[in-house]
Amino acid sequence: MTTSVIKKIAGFMMIATGLTLGLYGQVRNDAIRAFNAGVGLMKTDIPAAIESFENCVAISEQVGDSAEDIRLRAVNVLPGLYFQIAYNLLDEENKLQESIQASHKALEVAEKYDNASVKENTEKILIQAYSTMASGFFSSKENEKAIQAFDSVLMINPDHINSLYNKALIYRGIGDIYNFEESIDVYIQKLKDAGDSARVEQANNIAIDYLRVEAVKANQANELDRSLELLNDAMKYGPHKEVYYQFANIYNKQKKFSEAVESAQLGLELETGSAEDKAKFYFELAEAQANLGQTSSACASYRNAAYGAFVEASKAQLQNLKCP
């Protein structure tokens, strides 16, 4: 049992039965006996204690106002006992599904008797149980079940950051781009609301990298419009040199040479590496300039592109353009 529940149990005293006359007096004593039985069972048999307290409540309601004090004492402890069953199933027995079922019952009782603290603590148990369940499904590649479990967490707490993040990762893993973007967007907004700029940047980079890779695949499959769509989606998460390079490459393929020049130049502004790192940007820039009839500029760009994997192609183009 949790420390808080043990302390609460310690605070419960048996109610002394008094000399009462008449039918209602006898029924009140029955309510007291049911209450006392519940107190006696709390440390050893919680389900039986619940049954006694529920019986106490039912009897007290039959009596009416004269047993209201007894009823209130019983309903004060009942939600915590239902919570304790859910807690024990999760913490001591690791029975996730049973704990979830017990938690839903505890929530029902907490709401019935307006017990906010038990409701809050039970929701924490549910979040822990669903999160553990989701992680298990994710590990066994049962992705749909994992998503459903994370959604169950988010129904309880829409601001649960880890569930939003993990959903996005699952959608990325199964190639569901639409739902990935939807999930990562919500995740990023929650981080912004919390002022967590470091994780906002991390999430933006995750989104850019994923969409950029998918755009490269579409480009390689000659699905140029789809590739551009993905690149534009990637741009929502911030500028990136590799995204600009892909733009330049696709625009050259589509003979949109002015757009290719602009994209290659933007990529070069972000590329702070070596001459070899910059070579691919200069090559796409030179290709666009040559097709626009900007021979002098193209020659200069091909010279800057003549590094690494672009050496031979750049030299050939320098000869073709008769560059000085």
Instruction: Kindly tell me if the per-residue pLDDT of 193 is higher than 70.
Output: yes
Flag whether 97 is in a domain: no
Winning range, highest mean pLDDT, from 65-79, 84-98, 264-278 = 264-278
pLDDT for 10-30, tens place per residue? 345 555 444 444 445 577 888
| Domain of residue 264, residue span | 256-324
204 within 8 A of 235, measured Cβ to Cβ: no
The answer to the question of residue 192 being in a domain is: no
Q: Closest Cα partner for 46 from 14, 89, 100? A: 89
- The reported pLDDT for the residue numbered 2 is 53
With b meaning 16 or more CB within 10 Å and e meaning fewer, what string describes 18-28?
Answer: eeeeeeeeebb
In a domain, 283, yes or no: yes
SS3 238: coil
Question: What average pLDDT does the segment 280-285 reach?
Answer: 97
Q: How far is CA 170 from the centre of its chain?
A: 10
Estimate the crossing angle of helix 241-253 against helix 224-235, to 10 degrees.
Answer: 150
pLDDT score recorded for residue 253 = 97
- Position 220 scores a pLDDT of 96
- The answer, yes or no, to whether residue 101 has pLDDT greater than 50, is yes
- In percent, how much of the chain has pLDDT > 90? 85
Could you tell me if residue 278 is inside a domain?
yes
In a domain, 46, yes or no: no
Q: What percent of the chain has pLDDT over 70?
A: 92
Is 276 contained in some domain? yes
Query: Which pLDDT does position 10 carry in this prediction?
Result: 36
Q: Does the pTM exceed 0.85?
A: no
Tell me the pLDDT tens digit for each residue of 199-253. Answer: 999 999 999 999 999 999 999 999 999 999 999 999 999 999 999 999 999 999 9
pLDDT tens-place string over residues 151-190: 999 999 999 999 999 999 999 999 999 999 999 999 999 9
pLDDT average, residue stretch 51-57? 94
- 144 domain residue, yes or no: no
Number of domains in the chain: 1
Q: Does residue 244 sit within a domain? A: no
